[in-house]
Copies of this chain bind each other. A is one copy, B any other.
Amino acid sequence: MVREPSKRPRAAEASKAAILAAARQRFAADGYDRATIRAIAADASIDPAMVIRYFGSKEKLFAQAADFDLRLPDLTAVPRARVGAAFVEHFLERWEADDTFMALIRAAVTNDAAAKRVRGVLATQVAPMIERVSGDESHTSLRAALVASQLLGFALCRYALRLGPAVTMSRDEVVGWLAPTVQRYVTAPLPVTRRAR
């Protein structure tokens, strides 16, 4: 497919891709600790030694496997009253089509490096979009954290804890319940409480 100056790119690239795909599934299913290099290699039909050779270490492999793009669409294009629903719909589709994000969440619960990465994803991908649609410049990170608490919390219940109702709810039901919550976190003025402490 890709050009090759004179040396042969070999099947190495295909192997790396297979390893990454297997790693995402394993990390998503088992978390960082229980996902072993041996198991990942077996899934990819590749020798465990090759995994280390290509990626250097388990941590570096995870870093590449968990390099995640939320692919948030431009929410300034949707009516302001529908941004909550748009958020929920996009997240549902995104993490049902790609194991990477759940792998990241699962790992982040017990791994500091993974947690830092999740914070980075929220700060660089979610928060800027919220700032643009909220019309409130001064509490963006707070609103982003609240949105994350609900969306990640639902993902936790649906995919990790496998709570019956959270698993069986239809897409429309999920949106119907969660959208008003997210809508409020993004657009509502601060509630009346004693600020700080």
Contacts and interface: CB of A to CB of B under 8 A. Distances in A.
A54 B2 CA distance: 62
Contact of A149 (B146, B156, B170, B196): B156
Contacts of A144: 165
A41 B42 CA distance: 35
A92 interface: no
A160 B109 contact: yes
Interface in A155-197: 156-158, 160-166, 169-170, 172-173, 175-178, 180-181, 184-185, 190-197
Interface string A99-134: 000000110111000010011001000000000000
B195 A108 contact: no
A152 B150 contact: no
- What is the oligomeric copy number? 2
Contacts of A105: 109
Interface residues of A, number: 55
A148 to B, nearest CB: 6
A135 interface: no
Given A163-B122, A164-B141, A172 B194 contact: yes
A175 B192 CA distance: 10
Contacts of A192: 176
Nearest to A144: B165
Given A153-B151, A153-B152, A145 B165 contact: yes
Interface of A: 30-31, 33-34, 105-106, 108-110, 115, 118-119, 122, 141-142, 144-146, 148-154, 156-158, 160-166, 169-170, 172-173, 175-178, 180-181, 184-185, 190-197
